[in-house]
Structure 1
């Protein structure tokens, strides 16, 4: 019997800005992360993709599908008529009302996958979504169809951002966010498995994007009451002007970065017998 508990610790938003990407690479090189999701529609991806090459085989590198920040990689007359993605609230409204155009979403997913492969030299090991957009109505089906058409079934795993309600409620941080996402993602793992894709089982890491909760408390909660094949998301990075203009999570990224580099986090992993792994 293994003495370790395998957990995926995934840093979101690689490529969002140079500071975010640099922080993620530093943590991965230290063994303090086991996966990262790349925002290949952002200009920062093309600048930072080569820095992941030395980490191949050490961490899982996936596509962090983006439909809410910056610009799409091609024309999207329905979703982004002015050439910019809508904010999450607007995308949600389109999704729940059935107003997303499937072909348009599939084309953008394909472009972001192409951008990943062109820069990284191989398919992603997993796919998830910036602000969990990959589970939304009108996006979910388009994603599964596109991945199957590219022959990714059985080769790529998908992130399920849900957890048991009992686990969510027992964690003192991020409950409201976790329950909202669970509602939107209902049935995602079932649909993914039916299409031939593996998923994680157990998900945590929801937290406020400010300094109201210390990073140590966030990760103490995230690494508690975990599922049988759990994934913990995080958002570390350095702050730069590019980041300030793109995302509401700013100073909290530095707090997470510092904690994940710290002896305290090393002690948490050791005390709980946690081994960071790149996939389920």
Structure 2
């Protein structure tokens, strides 16, 4: 390995959300274009997709994508989802910042999602994060850390993906600055708590974007690679657009664009030009 080569975890989110998303991610995993994927155990496609992912799991990190927005929860949540469906992200944020979340209810649902992940996949997740970064919000962050401790995941080596990046790097990179700064600011408390509790976590994060199909995604990814710090994770959202995806999520066209880029020679060329190599988290951190 050259002295300047940088290792990075490239993580595709939303595995299990819809068959088209799962199949696109599986293709990229099979062709060594990803080093992690984050799975939605609440989604209807998860049990089927998990069986297809399991034979490939030795080559990538497979995580649990804690989900508390939009989809139905796995069990009753009379406070957060009285009608049987989780709120939108703005609704969840309002509840979190006004003290309206019930910690016990949240914790119980997170444990159900962990149990559903393990039932379908057969082992603990390599990492935990949150769909739409919900795990950084008040109450939810405490329950996420409690899940790691109470389920003995920390002892098993499960790491926590935190969307924290130093503001100076965000400003220098110059892509989706406002959104990135907001997410980083919301992540700071979780990053500090995780460090105090000895939870393994990444030190840098990239991939935050506005899902505008007019964006030149290759240029965006090049800028992301150029601005990475040590122990960084880049999230992405590739997928094939199908009727099942359209029924549950507004992010469609950009998933197809991201898939086309990661499946292309241009992606490999950009990694080489940036002197970056895809890595699993433990391999990346062991070289520090």
Q: Specify the SS of the correspondent of 2:226.
A: coil
Shift of 1:2: 4.6
Residue 105 of structure 1 is matched in structure 2 by 106
| C-alpha distance in structure 2 between counterparts of 1:54 and 1:153, whole Å | 24
Deviations 1:205-264 (A, max 9, x none): 112212121120121122121121111110000000111121121000000000001111
Matched residues, number: 280
Whether the 8 Å CA contact 1:153–1:195 is kept in 2: the answer is no
Shift of 1:187: 2.1
Whether the 8 Å CA contact 2:15–2:38 is kept in 1: the answer is yes
Deviations 1:95-131 (A, max 9, x none): 0111110100010000000011001000000000000
Q: Specify the SS of the correspondent of 1:43.
A: coil
Residue 260 of structure 1 is matched in structure 2 by 262
Whether the 8 Å CA contact 1:148–1:195 is kept in 2: the answer is no
Deviations 1:149-203 (A, max 9, x none): 1111141100110101111011232111111111211221221122221111111
| C-alpha distance in structure 2 between counterparts of 1:50 and 1:246, whole Å | 22
Residue 168 of structure 1 is matched in structure 2 by 170
Residue 64 of structure 2 is matched in structure 1 by 63
| C-alpha distance in structure 2 between counterparts of 1:221 and 1:64, whole Å | 26
| C-alpha distance in structure 2 between counterparts of 1:40 and 1:21, whole Å | 12
| C-alpha distance in structure 2 between counterparts of 1:2 and 1:218, whole Å | 25
Shift of 1:146: 1.8
| C-alpha distance in structure 2 between counterparts of 1:162 and 1:146, whole Å | 20
- Matching residue within 192, 199, 212 for 1:190: 192
Alignment RMSD: 1.2
Whether the 8 Å CA contact 2:226–2:274 is kept in 1: the answer is no
| C-alpha distance in structure 1 between counterparts of 2:276 and 2:188, whole Å | 28
Deviates more, 1:163-172 or 1:118-127: 163-172
Deviates more, 1:42-51 or 1:184-193: 184-193
| C-alpha distance in structure 2 between counterparts of 1:197 and 1:29, whole Å | 30
- Answering whether residue 48 of structure 2 is matched by residue 47 of structure 1, we say yes
| C-alpha distance in structure 1 between counterparts of 2:147 and 2:127, whole Å | 14
Q: Residues 65-84 of structure 1: matches in 2 within 5 Å?
A: 65-84=66-85
Residue 127 of structure 1 is matched in structure 2 by 128
TM norm structure 2? 0.95
| C-alpha distance in structure 2 between counterparts of 1:123 and 1:69, whole Å | 25
Whether the 8 Å CA contact 1:174–1:205 is kept in 2: the answer is no
| C-alpha distance in structure 1 between counterparts of 2:166 and 2:226, whole Å | 13
Deviations 1:6-30 (A, max 9, x none): 1000000001100000000100111
Q: Specify the SS of the correspondent of 1:63.
A: strand
| C-alpha distance in structure 2 between counterparts of 1:45 and 1:54, whole Å | 15
5+ residue gaps, structure 2, are none
Residue 116 of structure 1 is matched in structure 2 by 117
- Matching residue within 209, 212, 215 for 2:211: 209
Whether the 8 Å CA contact 1:13–1:20 is kept in 2: the answer is yes
Shift of 1:41: 0.4
Deviates more, 1:145-154 or 1:29-38: 145-154
Q: Specify the SS of the correspondent of 1:245.
A: helix
